[in-house]
Amino acid sequence: MTTTPTSADQRGIADAAVAYAARGWAVFPLHTIRSGRCSCWRDCSHPAKHPITRHGLHDATTDPTAVAGWWARWPWANIAIATGTISGLVVIDIDPDHGGTESLDHLQSLMDSLPVTLTAATGGGGEHRFFTHPGPVAVRNTAGRLPGITESLPGVDLRGDGGYVVAAPSRHASGHAYRWVDPNVVPAPAPTWLRPSPRPVFPAGGRVLVVPHGGGSRYGLAALRREVAEVRAAQVGGRNDRLNRAAFSLGMLAAGGELDRTLVEAELLTAALEIGLPETEARASIRSGLSAGAREPRRRRHA
Ligand SMILES: [Zn+2]
């Protein structure tokens, strides 16, 4: 059952937005769930998670006056915190619906332990773990993997530069609120394996976890880079179609042994999220493209 936010909840959310801005975290308003539906009132693929303002993420600010103005206008709005250097934050997003809980256990076993850090429980049963941005190098958004770990981690995404997370006490599509597990904990420094680094990471056990190369033949990897660039450059209206074609073409190469399918999937999903495609839609396009491509295996032709 979905509850309608009370005025007390609404005051809480406005105060929280201003407090985040005062703390140096850039925020902007998102739609919320009202009477069981996304407040955009459309048949929406991203309920309670997409921006209200025209420029969305590009409107994010740490100016408390501007933030107070937004929430005076939309007192019910959910809060987005922009991740990356703008707020000095990177966030690991754990989504149990895509295997995130198992991946987190696996990550924990690889690393012996994970640092204690500011953590939010999402209204959907997941977690956001906040870390300080390692700077000055940009941290890319990733999906199903983390920068310093070669193994795929389904359901574990990284929100870095150009990304955002929904913050407490926003309302999730489920009707439940996001909340801080312990609001007095501060974000820990980003662990080495979250930083963009071409060098191997040696965890406590001494096992090398990072192999910066691999994932396909030189020919396959060149095709992957090309297709990812095409997806990033695709125009609004043609992005999903371009993504599907890229998945098809790379799916043929994966089936021909030129590329690792998991790598293709992760790279395409990362690019899709970066250009703003909704995750569910992007995953579906990638999967259908890869499966269709797999029926026509292709290898590099030798003249
Ligand atoms: Zn909506």
Distance from residue 67's CA to the centre of ligand 1 (Å): 21
Q: Is 288 helix (H, G, I), strand (E, B) or coil?
A: helix
Distance from residue 154's CA to the centre of ligand 1 (Å): 26
Angle at CA of residue 252, ends 247 and 253, nearest 5°: 100
Distance from residue 38's CA to the centre of ligand 1 (Å): 5
Does residue 25 have a pLDDT over 80?
A: yes
Residue 7 region by backbone torsions, left for phi larger than 0, else alpha for psi between -120 and 50, else beta: alpha
Distance from residue 32's CA to the centre of ligand 1 (Å): 8
Distance from residue 65's CA to the centre of ligand 1 (Å): 26
> What is the pTM for the complete model shown?
0.65
Q: What share of the chain is helix, strand, coil (3-state, %, to 5)?
A: 35, 15, 45
Distance from residue 173's CA to the centre of ligand 1 (Å): 10
Distance from residue 45's CA to the centre of ligand 1 (Å): 7
Distance from residue 52's CA to the centre of ligand 1 (Å): 9
Does residue 119 have a pLDDT over 60?
A: yes
Distance from residue 195's CA to the centre of ligand 1 (Å): 33
Confirm if 118 and 127 have CB atoms less than 8 A apart. Answer: no
Distance from residue 68's CA to the centre of ligand 1 (Å): 22
Distance from residue 44's CA to the centre of ligand 1 (Å): 4
Quote the tokens at residue 152: 């795929």
Distance from residue 33's CA to the centre of ligand 1 (Å): 8
Quote the tokens at residue 219: 């020919």
Instruction: Give the chain's domains with CATH numbers.
Output: 7-194 (3.30.2250), 218-294 (no CATH)
Distance from residue 97's CA to the centre of ligand 1 (Å): 20
Distance from residue 53's CA to the centre of ligand 1 (Å): 12
Q: What is the mean pLDDT of residues 298-303?
A: 71
258 or 231, greater pLDDT: 231
Cα–Cα distance for residue pair 128/82, rounded to 1 Å: 13
Residue 43 region by backbone torsions, left for phi larger than 0, else alpha for psi between -120 and 50, else beta: beta
- In the prediction, which pLDDT does 189 show? 93
Distance from residue 41's CA to the centre of ligand 1 (Å): 6
- In the prediction, which pLDDT does 211 show? 30
pLDDT > 70: what percent of the chain?
Answer: 89
- In the prediction, which pLDDT does 303 show? 43
Distance from residue 39's CA to the centre of ligand 1 (Å): 6
Q: Is the peptide bond before 47 cis (omega within 30 degrees of 0)?
A: no
- pLDDT (tens digit per residue) in 204-214: 333 333 333 45
Distance from residue 196's CA to the centre of ligand 1 (Å): 33
- pLDDT (tens digit per residue) in 29-67: 999 999 889 999 988 888 999 999 999 999 999 999 999
Confirm if 150 and 107 have CB atoms less than 8 A apart. Answer: no
Distance from residue 31's CA to the centre of ligand 1 (Å): 6
262 or 78, greater pLDDT: 78
Dmax over CA atoms of the chain, in Å, equals 72
